[in-house]
Chain A
Amino acid sequence: MDGDGVTHEGEGEERYVPGPQEDLSQAEQLRHLTDTGARSAEATEADEEDVLRDLYGEPDEDGIYRGDGG
């Protein structure tokens, strides 16, 4: 691996951690990107919908909570 960082491995994933003096170039950032977008959509809290409804009112037809939250 390039730079002075460290690669962590686990559960099939690898993430390159830049070293203390290293700021990754855009090409390096692009190379290390991993898309976990589908996983991030999963609710981690069973009451997520209730909490968001309390804070922002009913979602729109696409399920998006757009209220200003007072």
Chain B
Amino acid sequence: MPVRAEQAIAAFLSKMREGLGERGRPNVASIWYAKRHDDSFLEAPWCDMRVTWAAHHSGNYDAVCFGTDYAYTVAHASAFERRGRWTSGTDGIRPGDVIFFDWNGRGSIGGIDHVGVVEKALAGGRVQTIEGNTSDALQRKVRSPSVITGYGRPDWGRAGGGEITLQKGDSGPLVSALQQDLLKVGQKLPQWGADGDFGDETVAAVKAFQQSSGFTGRDLDGVAGPKTRAALDKALKR
């Protein structure tokens, strides 16, 4: 698998794990979704809103959602099917795939009840998933093929879209790439280097970069959001 795809999957899964155990409504995903569309989504079933939120916040919005916000699982599965990225059942399933369930086991897209993301493919077609709105919480589950309608394979080659925000506590390849970029533009990470963990040293380096880029006030926050990312991309081109 291309490195870019591996990084995209790691980032997507990292955002799905974020907030494991979050319970109730409204929640991070439904508030974000409602702000983009309608307050009615605040208290609505949120399993697919959580997938859309994770895709958007990991830079995989185009790969997972094809530029559309999804709350309705059937519409999301249909979008995968229209693009030739739908597989019925679990053959070939792997981490990062968007998995759709039908509690009545009818096997058709029209019967889909629920959605999650595959974290691990297990033996016998079983999968371990992360799912929002399971007992109104974000949880890890183990699922049998008997309730799996199929899965959508995100178009990792189209990874991009959405807004990635990296901050203290984040880790993984996206953080490592950020740290390498900070070093390229002259910032210092003397103790830990580009280790992939967003700790105090990285916060300080981001703040120093923000200051050198003319950021002031609340923008001097040590968080690598879209504005900081844009400034960093500009600095890298100099």
Q: Which residues of A contact B131 (CB under 8 A)?
A: 40
Interchain CA distance A13-B124 in the complex, whole Å: 29
Tell whether, in the assembled complex, residue B20 and residue A44 are in contact, meaning their CB atoms are under 8 Å apart: no
What 5 additional pairs, Cβ within 8 angstroms, besides A17-B74, A30-B44, A48-B142?
A16-B74, A18-B75, A23-B68, A43-B141, A66-B21
Tell whether, in the assembled complex, residue A17 and residue B78 are in contact, meaning their CB atoms are under 8 Å apart: yes
Tell whether, in the assembled complex, residue A41 and residue B134 are in contact, meaning their CB atoms are under 8 Å apart: yes
Contact with B along A11-45 (1 / 0, CB 8 A): 10101111010011011111011111111110111
Q: Which residues of B contact A56 (CB under 8 A)?
A: 140
Residue among B37, B78, B82, B122 with most chain A CB within 10 A: B78
A6's partner among B110, B119, B142 (CB-CB below 8 A) is B110
Q: Across the interface, name the chain B residue whose C-beta is closest to A27.
A: B38
**A62 is an interface residue with CB less than 8 A from chain B:** yes
B143's partner among A13, A38, A45 (CB-CB below 8 A) is A45
Interchain CA distance A33-B49 in the complex, whole Å: 11
**B112 is an interface residue with CB less than 8 A from chain A:** yes
Size of interface on A: residues with Cβ below 8 Å to B: 43
Interchain CA distance A49-B47 in the complex, whole Å: 21
**B97 is an interface residue with CB less than 8 A from chain A:** no
Q: Across the interface, name the chain B residue whose C-beta is closest to A45.
A: B142
**Chain B nearest CB, measured from A11 CB (Å):** 5
Size of interface on B: residues with Cβ below 8 Å to A: 50
Interchain CA distance A41-B109 in the complex, whole Å: 21
Q: A10-B104, A23-B68, A23-B75 are in contact. Are A30 and B38 (CB under 8 A)?
A: yes
Tell whether, in the assembled complex, residue B146 and residue A32 are in contact, meaning their CB atoms are under 8 Å apart: no
Tell whether, in the assembled complex, residue B21 and residue A8 are in contact, meaning their CB atoms are under 8 Å apart: no
Q: Which residues of B contact A44 (CB under 8 A)?
A: 141-144, 146-147
Chain B residues 111 to 149 lying within 8 A of chain A, measured CB to CB, are 111-114, 119-120, 122, 126, 128, 131, 133-137, 139-144, 146-147
DSSP majority for the B interface? Answer: mixed
**B212 is an interface residue with CB less than 8 A from chain A:** no
Q: Which residues of A contact B21 (CB under 8 A)?
A: 60, 62, 64, 66
Contact with B along A51-70 (1 / 0, CB 8 A): 11001100010101110010
Q: Which residues of A contact B71 (CB under 8 A)?
A: 26, 29-30, 33
**Chain B nearest CB, measured from A70 CB (Å):** 11
**Chain B nearest CB, measured from A53 CB (Å):** 11
**Chain B nearest CB, measured from A31 CB (Å):** 9
Q: Which residues of A contact B122 (CB under 8 A)?
A: 51
Tell whether, in the assembled complex, residue B140 and residue A13 are in contact, meaning their CB atoms are under 8 Å apart: no
